[in-house]
Every structure is written in C-alpha cells, then in structure tokens.
Amino acid sequence: MDADEFQTSAIAVLRSAVGWQSAISRRLGVESRTVRRWLKDGQTPDWVDEKLAELMGARELSQWPRDEWVVGDGLTADGRHREYIVHLMPPRFVARIVACTEDGLPEQEELPADILSGTVYGADRLTLLCEIDWIDQVDPGHVTHLLEAAANAIEEINERSAG
C-alpha cells in the first residue's frame, strides 16, 4: 500500500490522527522510525496490508448475523428507476431485476436493459435477472444454483412486502 493509504488506514484503526505514527508502530510491532521510513519511501511491506486488515477486523467473522440478500432500488444519473438484488455472502454479485411483458421482453420503463449479453436468468415468467456483476470468482457449476436462490429471495421479499 502506498503512504497515503497507509496513513488513512492507520488513522482509521487508531480512531485518531494524534500521534498516529508512534501508535501504529506499537500496534504493528515495529519501531516508529520504521513507519517514518515507509512514509518516506512511499510504500509499505506486503505484510502491513494483512496486519492492518486484521486490526480492522476484516479477517474475523462478525458476531452479528448478516443478511444474505438485499433487494433494492437504484437510480440512474438521469433519474430512471432500477431494481437490483445483491448477494452479500461469497460469491458476491449484483444483478439487475427486469420486469418483462408476456412476450418476455423488458417492459418499456425498464429500457434500456441488456438481456442479450452476459448471464441472463429467468427468475419467473415475468422477471429476468441480467446485467450481473460478479464481485467474487464463482464456480461456473454454481451459477444456476445462485441465480435460483436469488429468484427465491426476490419471491420471498415480494410476498412479505405484499402481506
């Protein structure tokens, strides 16, 4: 990580910018002059990234249960509504939810919608999942399973909203 990223991360871990170089050196188990040298060189050793992630709690499982799915609305720069589903657990991904006509084409208010390239999945007779952005690497053998689970999550959320 570069010097700016290191400083920002260190201050976030410490929750204070006061005396941050000395304080982070103690947390990392190095001399404060070593931290100053990293700043002067503009780069930290690779192990520092891992140690800072550990200090931030990024390597520990949270004690708080997290949702697996989020379904929500997006808004384009020109003010058009979009609906998405996000899988929050690995493999993470975002998929656009597109309402379709009886003919299987996107409804007018959904346009433009890319239903021709990438992965496109029929969640039900009137809904497509498309424009999928895979955040994590996914085993190709699990894509259908994940998208079926997404379709089930959409159905369950819609049922709760209607009830």
CB atoms within 10 A of CB 139: 9
What angle do the packed helices 3-14 and 32-41 form, to 10 degrees?
140
Q: Residue 162's pLDDT is what?
A: 85
The mean predicted confidence, pLDDT, of the chain is 87
pTM of the model: 0.61
Measure CA 140 to chain center. 20
Do 14 and 20 touch, CB atoms closer than 8 A?
A: yes
**What is the SS3 assignment for 73-123?**
EEECCCCCEEEEEEECCCCCEEEEEEEECCCCCECHHHCCCCCCCCCCEEE
Q: How many whole angstroms separate alpha carbon 33 and alpha carbon 38?
A: 9
Positions in the chain whose pLDDT score sits under 70:
57-65
In the prediction, which pLDDT does 63 show?
56
pLDDT at residue 33, as a whole number: 93
Question: Domain limits of the chain?
Answer: 3-56, 69-162
- Which pLDDT tens digit goes with each residue over 34-75? 999 999 999 898 888 888 878 776 555 455 567 889 999 998
Q: What is the pLDDT of residue 65?
A: 63
